[in-house]
Amino acid sequence: MFKFFKSKLKKVAISLKKFSIGRKLKALFSKKLDASLFEELEKLFYESDLGVKIALELTDKVREILKKDPDTSSDEILKILKAELLNDIIEYEEVEKKKPHVIMIVGVNGSGKTTSIAKIAKHYKDEGKKVLLIAADTYRAAAVDQLASWAEKTDVDIVKSKQGSDPSSVVFDGLTAALNRDVDIVIIDTAGRLHTKTGLMQELEKLKRVSNKVIENSPHETLLVVDATSGQNGVDGAKIFNSYTPISSIFLTKLDGTAKGGIVLSIQKEIKVPIQWIGLGEKLGDITAFNAKEFVDDLLSTE
Ligand SMILES: Nc1nc2c(ncn2[C@@H]2O[C@H](COP(=O)(O)OP(=O)(O)OP(=O)(O)O)[C@@H](O)[C@H]2O)c(=O)[nH]1
Ligand SMILES: [Mg+2]
């Protein structure tokens, strides 16, 4: 297990450096102090998808530092900003897992739910856990087949039913099977839904009720899958999802597809939910556990 984290974190350290705004910041700090500096600073923060709130806060912070001591070195300023950003990050804390541990996956269409489920399934399978997938996306024709094909590739069990059937009955059947088969980890795939569709959002509440009926206190985790390339839209959507169905952590996908890493921070600031996983590609191995300190170090790296 240690090996998994070690190798994955190494990969992340390499690929997240591309988000760095540290060098640009350093260059800005070497300019003379005037109003245009702060304007440029705010623009830089904003352009890296940090969101308006964080962009303003960080700019104010720099203003305050330089007001106190105009000679503060750029390295010192970056150190303070790192601490400031880390302060906003809620670290994911591993939850104690009782058998069967139920994880429900939710998110908007195409955010990467099904692919991420396969990645998580492989992660637990590699840890020696018995994993069961439940195909509760019964809306889209290919959805069940897609999950079934991942189940085959990762060599884990799956409970499915026909397209068009009631997703809550699949959840019921799947969880009952999990109890009978001595499963460690259950992962429920749900249909993609737009956070603005009230009926579909309420359906998630129903799925949770059914889950809780079969296995008390389940789902134990509700993971929201957010596409990192969706910027502020993704952040707004996450907020609404969280209001309907409390989210325990986030799987941020497609971070390989964006040059801006700020969404990691703005999403946490806006909905106060920890990021647990990061997706860095379409393959099973393209997953890493999110590490706040490394991420902030990379974001403000001057290398
Ligand atoms: N580059 C990249 N692509 C990803 C990542 N995660 C998922 N994808 C791709 O995103 C597309 C959608 O992925 P799905 O897993 O089908 O998304 P979904 O949320 O299940 O979609 P619906 O079930 O239709 O709502 C696929 O082409 C995936 O290969 C990632 O971390 N990086
Ligand atoms: Mg899907």
pTM: 0.90
Bridge partners, residue 223, by sequence: 105, 249
- Could you tell me the distance, in angstroms and rounded to a whole number, from the CA of residue 235 to the centre of ligand 2? 20
pLDDT, greater one: 282 or 303: 282
Nearest ligand by distance to the CA of 115: 1
Say which CATH architecture domain 101-290 belongs to. 3-Layer(aba) Sandwich (3.40)
What percentage of the chain carries pLDDT values higher than 90? Answer: 57
Nearest ligand by distance to the CA of 192: 1
Amino acid at the residue 229: T
Give the pLDDT band of residue 137 (cuts 50, 70, 90). very high
- Indicate which residue's Cα is closest to atom 21 of ligand 1: 110
The predicted structure's pLDDT at residue 12: 54
CATH class of 2-88: mainly alpha
CA–CA distance from 1 to each of 4, 59, 272, 294 (Å)?
5, 40, 28, 19
Summarised one tens digit per residue, pLDDT across range 36-90 is 888 999 999 888 888 888 899 999 999 999 999 988 998 999 999 999 999 888 8
- Residue 219: asked if its preceding bond is cis (omega within 30°), the reply is yes
Give the pLDDT band of residue 14 (cuts 50, 70, 90). very low
96-100: long-range contacts, CB 8 A cutoff, minimum separation 24? 97/184, 97/185, 97/220, 98/220, 99/182, 99/183, 99/184, 100/132, 100/175, 100/178, 100/179, 100/183, 100/184, 100/185, 100/186, 100/215, 100/218
Checking if the pLDDT of 13 tops 60, the result is: no
Summarised one tens digit per residue, pLDDT across range 164-191 is 889 999 999 999 999 999 999 999 999 9
Q: Residue range 184-202: average pLDDT?
A: 91
Checking if the pLDDT of 5 tops 50, the result is: no
Residues with CB under 6 A from ligand 1: 107, 109-115, 137, 140, 143, 192, 225, 253-254, 256-257, 279-282, 286
The predicted structure's pLDDT at residue 113: 97
The predicted structure's pLDDT at residue 15: 57
In the chain, CATH 1.20.120 sits at 2-88
The predicted structure's pLDDT at residue 16: 66
